[in-house]
Structure 1
Amino acid sequence: MKEVELAEPWQRLLAGAIDRILPIIFFILTITVGANPRYARAKLLWLYDSILIIGCLTVLSFLWQAVIMSRSGQSIGQKILRIRVITDTGENPGFAKYVLAREVFFFAVLLSLCGLLSGLGLGHIIYCAVQLLYLIMLCRKRGNYQTPQDLMLQTLVVKV
């Protein structure tokens, strides 16, 4: 593998924030349009069409994000900050490793575990502990700034 420059922790955190802001904007837009009393009293059919369109845009943004993550190893936020995910051999991790395992599976397991332990009052503690571990690992230069997902899937986040 050729020599690569690792992405800084702030770049990874900012890219993650950008990736999460887009769906939040669509959600807020949907709630704002749907909760506006002026629209509700008018009984306009286009209002429901607007909510449906915004919902479809949200789903399309998730699908688009998955496609570009699979093809280039970059999410929208990572493209903006010029960083990308590669395997330890320098290749693009692809759909299974990047989207399914790194994004979907890891957080599904974490949230499921937290949900199961919420009855014992441990759900929030486990979630916060994992997030704290994530931040600590992200700031360890000696550990190549690798997070639990990176270690599990043998990936690195590098500057483009």
Structure 2
Amino acid sequence: MSNTQENFSINNHEYDHTADMEIEVELASPWNRISAYIINSLLLTLVAFIGVILSLFFVKFVLRSKSEDIVILSLIICISISLLIYAIFQFIQMSKTGQSFGKRLMGIKVIGIDGQNPGFVGTVLLREGIFNIIAEIISVTFVAIFVHLFNFPELATELLFAYLLPFICLIMLFRKSTNQRTLQDYLARTIVIKVEK
């Protein structure tokens, strides 16, 4: 069965390796994936804002302190705790279902190219953790090279390389010939599909 612009065929090998089962899934649209990313970003911002509100409440009504150091420490602790709780729920959701909150709202999910749930390793560790570490290393390396060796302006160079890999991934979302797989998908051997209703 050949791949079409909207479908992706998966060969699912049975445990006895004697029979092949081929299933066809519908790929998530680039717009659904972009929307899911925006939703996740907005939720992250909202959670951080809740941390700020909790911090201000804590400082004013519990500690009753006006010390700048206490206010800053309280902000750091409350925002960190809020983001940690959000991340734990997000990672559990992604590991179990292949869906972040944004993906769930948009009706899409991540699966392995073998058709299985990639679990924590594929969905969280590789697609999010390792990919972002690699992206940061590449960004820092190129900034150092261009700023220190070629005297490029530091701020402009940092902005350029901070958004280079996300921009490449955005372009890849629209490439039907590669099944709209991004760099994260290649790293984790995944695709993003529409959820069956």
- CA distance 1:59–1:46, shift in 2 (3 Å): farther
Q: Which runs of 4+ in 1 moved over 6 A?
A: none
- CA positional deviation for 1:16: 1.1
Residue 87 (structure 2) aligns with: 62
Q: Deviations along 1:69-110, whole A, 9 cap, x unmatched?
A: 011111111111110101111100110111011001101111
Residue 78 (structure 1) aligns with: 103
Correspondence for 2:190 among 139, 155, 160 = 155
Matched residue count? 156
Q: Deviations along 1:24-70, whole A, 9 cap, x unmatched?
A: 1122233356569xx86x5642798x965664332111001101101
Residue 118 (structure 1) aligns with: 143
Aligned mates of 1:31, 1:130 — CA distance in 2: 30
What SS does structure 2 have at the residue aligned with 1:156?
Answer: strand
- CA distance 1:32–1:61, shift in 2 (3 Å): closer
**Is the contact made by 2:94 and 2:123 (CA closer than 8 Å) also made in structure 1?**
yes
Higher strand share: 2
Residue 17 (structure 1) aligns with: 38
- Runs of at least 5 residues in structure 1 that lack an aligned partner in the other structure: none
Aligned mates of 1:95, 1:141 — CA distance in 2: 27
Structure 2 length-normalised TM: 0.69
Aligned mates of 2:80, 2:166 — CA distance in 1: 29
Higher helix share: 1
Aligned mates of 2:64, 2:136 — CA distance in 1: 36
Residue 3 (1) aligns with residue 24 (2): yes
What SS does structure 1 have at the residue aligned with 2:24?
Answer: coil
Aligned mates of 2:181, 2:169 — CA distance in 1: 9
Correspondence for 1:97 among 105, 117, 122 = 122
- CA positional deviation for 1:18: 1.1
- CA distance 1:57–1:155, shift in 2 (3 Å): same
Structure 1 length-normalised TM: 0.83
- CA distance 1:6–1:124, shift in 2 (3 Å): same
Correspondence for 1:45 among 63, 67, 75 = 63
Q: Deviations along 1:97-136, whole A, 9 cap, x unmatched?
A: 1101100110111123222333324443233322221111
* RMSD across aligned positions (CA): 2.6
**Is the contact made by 1:114 and 1:124 (CA closer than 8 Å) also made in structure 2?**
no
